[in-house]
Structure 1
């Protein structure tokens, strides 16, 4: 705790701020700030975010864990039930101890599974529904609904479970625009967004303001990732850029309107002067980055816009197009709720950031940093 207070104090003095001035800017008492700097008091999420904003630091830098251990290398028995050519360095594995020995089992990067459920629909009504559930209200209250298109929600769910957190993250797969609408309609706690404003080139803030209106929100960075074109392994059609999508006979798979991938495609086609009706498969829509990659891997299309994670998960060729910022939007009044605090705690863990970076090839150097408040 003292190291956290030292970080706050050092950042304050580096900016030539007195305790009184910083406390006033952050909307807390000077005594509270003194307690934070002395290590006696650990602030809540909202206060931590305000202090980080005033000091020009990320929440992670001020309040993150300092004793995170790096990943370690362990020797393990190797169970391989697939051809060796399909398993290589950086392949994902599950680890367990069997009869005293650690065993590693190859795991697919993405695959179809039977999803767990909280209940079953009994009757749908005009403005609600009756659900039969075995969950308690405590379990329902500990669930965080995250709307967006990032497949890494599965890793967050695993992270929380491994730390025996009562909070469980549930993904609501949808486009960035639909995620913002779910937040406005009070159907989700968090909206994940990667929408580039064509006029300014800035990511997310303008679309968020348009969608939320006067609602106060927190915008927190999750990661940066590469968006580009995925093609069949080995790139047999020699696809090099969006300009190739106008070739006769080349088929694409598309994302739905309102997604960041669709926006990037439309912007690129517009700049190249390629009419949409010239692109075969433009109307073939799927609902996520992994779905785009799966369609290409299955031979349904020759190319599609997705993130590098999607291409890597299915062993596809990837042509980078642009670096994007993926942010999480939270209605401010929810910031102190247990599910949101658990998520923000994860985002401010260096160990979690390293895990996401390694498993997803994301840039997590700004994970947890407040983009806007």
Structure 2
């Protein structure tokens, strides 16, 4: 029966031919009721059908309202606000775990979206907490130049989550002797690349621009991987000579060497709306807590010296 069927946010996005962030936006607005099973959000088939009927202008048959979510610590669905948290680093999964325990009245939803697309989603009102690591090559500064340009007129707060090493993945033993960004100009070099809008892709494109290297010189530049591990794995398997990413992914994949070239700042961006200030305060308390920092310290490659520091406010 349809009452026994439920869908993930990915499945709904494919069925409706919309982005996953748009699905989260519908959940945030209360137009698409959802619940959590473990780390996964699900929507019942009946609720999806009711939404489609409303979108067509057809009055749906009223359904009983569920007042509690037994799969989410017994929290009442009424009055619980979904918050979309974008980004791909494991530190965000840890942060969401702390938010679920320590921030009343909210329900975090994870969206695995790149840095630039995350900021654009915030501009559109589709995300609440954006993680970003975007290098501005002209100033050498991370994130804030992009935030100034994309969130014009939006009062916001930028808080550091962590810093981490970024650089080049090369094959084990570095047989080509690659050592820096300028080496990407070598003829015949095979690249494993990230998707447009990701921080790693912006880092690569900025370095290519600064070093006068044309993207078309790199074989494989147009072939995109959706995460750091995918890039590192391409290099480890011998399908590519080089890729750009973070140190932690090289350790996870193994059989690949990492050349650190820059320490990137990984920040959180939040809009300073009146209705956000309570949970923003609670989030800052989590970031600055000894318990949270201790858990992040167990992960190699993180610099937590500025974690919880407010870097920029408008």
Residue 115 of structure 1 and its aligned partner are, at CA, apart by: 5.9
CA contact (8 A) 1:145 1:190 kept: yes
Q: 1:16 corresponds to which residue? A: none
Q: How does 1:94-109 map to 2 (within 5 A)?
A: none
Q: In structure 2, what is the Cα distance between the partners aligned to 1:126 and 1:262?
A: 40
Q: Taking structure 1 as reference, are residues 253 and 126 closer, same or farther at Cα in structure 2, changes over 3 Å only?
A: farther
CA contact (8 A) 1:226 1:308 kept: yes
Q: CA RMSD in A?
A: 3.2
Q: How does 1:36-55 map to 2 (within 5 A)?
A: none
Q: Taking structure 1 as reference, are residues 238 and 171 closer, same or farther at Cα in structure 2, changes over 3 Å only?
A: farther
Structure 1 segments unaligned to the other structure (5+ residues): 1-113
Q: 1:240 corresponds to which residue? A: 179
Residue 265 of structure 1 and its aligned partner are, at CA, apart by: 1.2
Q: In structure 2, what is the Cα distance between the partners aligned to 1:325 and 1:337?
A: 25
Q: 2:76 corresponds to which residue? A: 138
Q: In structure 2, what is the Cα distance between the partners aligned to 1:214 and 1:156?
A: 28
Q: 1:308 corresponds to which residue? A: 247
Alignment of 1:336 with 2:274, yes or no, is no
CA contact (8 A) 2:87 2:132 kept: yes
* Aligned with 2:259 (options 319, 323, 326): 319
Residue 291 of structure 1 and its aligned partner are, at CA, apart by: 3.0
Q: Deviations over 1:39-70 (max 9, x none)?
A: xxxxxxxxxxxxxxxxxxxxxxxxxxxxxxxx
CA contact (8 A) 1:174 1:288 kept: no
Q: In structure 1, what is the Cα distance between the partners aligned to 2:41 and 2:286?
A: 24
Structure 2 segments unaligned to the other structure (5+ residues): 1-37, 70-74
Alignment of 1:353 with 2:293, yes or no, is yes
| Structure 1 consecutive aligned stretches of length 4 or more whose deviation exceeds 6 Å | 126-130, 132-135
Q: Taking structure 1 as reference, are residues 117 and 294 closer, same or farther at Cα in structure 2, changes over 3 Å only?
A: farther
TM-score (norm 2): 0.70
Q: 2:33 corresponds to which residue? A: none
* Aligned with 1:226 (options 140, 146, 165): 165
Q: How many pairs are equivalent?
A: 257
Residue 117 of structure 1 and its aligned partner are, at CA, apart by: 2.4
Q: How does 1:10-159 map to 2 (within 5 A)?
A: 116-119=40-43, 122=48, 136=69, 138-139=76-77, 141=80, 143-159=82-98
Residue 248 of structure 1 and its aligned partner are, at CA, apart by: 3.8
Q: In structure 1, what is the Cα distance between the partners aligned to 2:126 and 2:137?
A: 28
Q: 1:92 corresponds to which residue? A: none
Q: In structure 1, what is the Cα distance between the partners aligned to 2:91 and 2:160?
A: 14
Q: In structure 2, what is the Cα distance between the partners aligned to 1:269 and 1:251?
A: 15
Q: In structure 2, what is the Cα distance between the partners aligned to 1:367 and 1:319?
A: 24
CA contact (8 A) 2:157 2:269 kept: yes
Q: 1:178 corresponds to which residue? A: 117
TM-score (norm 1): 0.60
Q: In structure 2, what is the Cα distance between the partners aligned to 1:232 and 1:127?
A: 54
Larger Rg: 1
The secondary structure found in structure 2 opposite 1:318 is strand
Residue 363 of structure 1 and its aligned partner are, at CA, apart by: 0.8
Q: 1:110 corresponds to which residue? A: none
Q: In structure 1, what is the Cα distance between the partners aligned to 2:141 and 2:269?
A: 16
Q: In structure 2, what is the Cα distance between the partners aligned to 1:297 and 1:319?
A: 14
Residue 128 of structure 1 and its aligned partner are, at CA, apart by: 7.3
Q: Taking structure 1 as reference, are residues 245 and 343 closer, same or farther at Cα in structure 2, changes over 3 Å only?
A: same
Q: Taking structure 1 as reference, are residues 314 and 197 closer, same or farther at Cα in structure 2, changes over 3 Å only?
A: same
Q: Taking structure 1 as reference, are residues 276 and 128 closer, same or farther at Cα in structure 2, changes over 3 Å only?
A: farther
Q: Taking structure 1 as reference, are residues 251 and 219 closer, same or farther at Cα in structure 2, changes over 3 Å only?
A: same
Residue 224 of structure 1 and its aligned partner are, at CA, apart by: 1.2
CA contact (8 A) 2:208 2:215 kept: yes
Residue 194 of structure 1 and its aligned partner are, at CA, apart by: 1.5
